[in-house]
Structure 1
Amino acid sequence: MKMTWIIFIVFPLIHQQHIDGKEACYEIDTNYNKQSKFPLIYNLGWSEELILNIPKGYRPEPYVVLNQDYIDQHLKTFHNGASFIIVTAILDKYGRDHIGTANGLFVVPSSQMDNLLQAASGSLSIVEKNLGIPQGRWLFKRLSRIDIPYPQKFNLRMPSGNEAGVNELWKPGGLLPNGMKEAIIDMVPRNEYLEVQLNLS
């Protein structure tokens, strides 16, 4: 029987920062598409403050509040692959037939995950900080990196701020404090993703 499982307890804690913005993030190479960076533009009548004042669960869809060109450029950075990290025991317990939930799965571009892991040089603390994982949450746990080569096949989209893993630190625009990008996709079947064991300590 195919099983779904609650992944938001692992990766979309990406918003539960126990650090204060960029200063506390490890200074990895943030040259993420600087030459093609598209400015965050809100549609007429909308602003970050206005969106954040709307309670979670009632926030409008990104296309309502964000410039469509910005959305398009943002999502293009995921077309060469999307990634996330998960505790391997969760996969062992709930199965690997599908990953994710109906509420959506948070991912970052695979190229940015590559940069982070290279800069971290095996340091779990650095990875946790940059992905917004509370320090020590993954200590002594086996971790897997999941790569989805074609995330656009699974309803690749901007976060709305209504997702289960979002808290008061979420901001519109799909950007994390260290400059990494995030997006949402639907559940992914086994034959559409790759799992690699990580060695972090």
Structure 2
Amino acid sequence: MGKDIGEAIIRPLKNSLDDMPVHVRQLADMFRKHGKKQKRNDSEVTDLDNTGVPQELRDGWKKDSWHTPDRVVAGGKQNRPYPAEYLDNDYIQQHIARFDDGATRFYRADSLDKYGPGNNGTTFVFPTSEIDDIIKKADGDPKKLGTMLGLGENFFVDADGNAVDIIRADFDPEQLMNGNIRMPRGTEGGANAQWIPGGYLPEGIPEAVFNVSDGSGGTFTHFYVK
């Protein structure tokens, strides 16, 4: 009976997932890279495209959830489920704990002046405790840093490759707590086509989102890639 079920259901399902959308492949590739950085055994990070749930997320992805990364993204920006519907609470709490020392994000000065610190009231942020290491890995390359942070390779430079005025904003833990720091849902105003479920950018950088307004505080300083 078990063999019959495998042939009739599991194998066709596996085959139907062979041609996964680009965003799922991005998610899988990102976690493969992360696994290698953590010196994981290669056998632990195989067949990610076929399952739709990368190895690093398998322990955190709810076993009884009908959602897959593909379904979460395909639901559309306005209809994506809350992360708690497909991620275990422990996974979410451990992820948010990475922001215990505060959070950081970058703004173009002209955009900050025109629109303020939030996009429809929310903003994406990176862990302050990890941002200096991320900047260091960019090795002074503004295009590389923009790509790593999911901001686009030309975020830190103009059309001629010259540096633009960038503001770094650092938010302390109390501000984050008051702003309901949480796992991104993918429905936020700042979520773009590169958004993937699980709280990471395609390059493996952790992210979160919180409610921000002109009165949310934060320390704003000029920033130069170096």
| Shorter-normalised TM range | 0.7 to 0.9
Q: How many angstroms does 1:120 deviate by?
A: 2.7
Determine which structure has the larger helix proportion and give its number: 2
How many residues are paired up? 170
Q: Which stretches of structure 1, 4 residues or longer, exceed 4 Å deviation after superposition?
A: 20-23, 188-191
Residues 101 and 186 of structure 1 are in contact (CA less than 8 Å); yes or no, is this contact kept in structure 2? no
Report the alpha carbon displacement of residue 177 of structure 1 after superposing the two structures with TM: 1.8
5+ long unaligned stretches in structure 1: 1-16, 32-36
Say whether 1:100 aligns with 2:118: yes
Is 1:145 the equivalent of 2:168? yes
After TM superposition, the score normalised by the length of structure 2 is 0.65
The answer for unaligned runs of 5 or more in structure 2 is 1-22, 39-55, 158-162
Confirm whether residue 162 of structure 1 aligns to residue 187 of structure 2.
Answer: yes
What CA deviation, in whole Å up to 9, does each residue of 1:130-155 have, x standing for no partner?
A: 01233224313111111001212211
Identity of aligned residues (%): 28
- What residue in structure 1 maps to residue 154 of structure 2? 136
Q: Alpha-carbon deviations, 1:103-129, whole Å to 9, x = none?
A: 411001112211112233432122112
For the 8 Å contact 2:169–2:219, the answer to whether it is kept is: yes
Alignment of 1:1-201 (within 5 A): 39-42=59-62, 44-45=64-65, 46-94=67-115, 99-139=117-157, 140-150=163-173, 151-189=176-214, 192-200=217-225
Cα-Cα RMSD: 2.8
Q: CA deviation at 1:166?
A: 2.4
Aligned equivalent of 2:9: none
Higher relative contact order structure (alpha carbons within 8 Å, sequence separation ≥ 6)? 1
**TM-score with structure 1 setting the length:** 0.72
Q: Distance in 2 between matches of 1:55 and 1:92?
A: 30
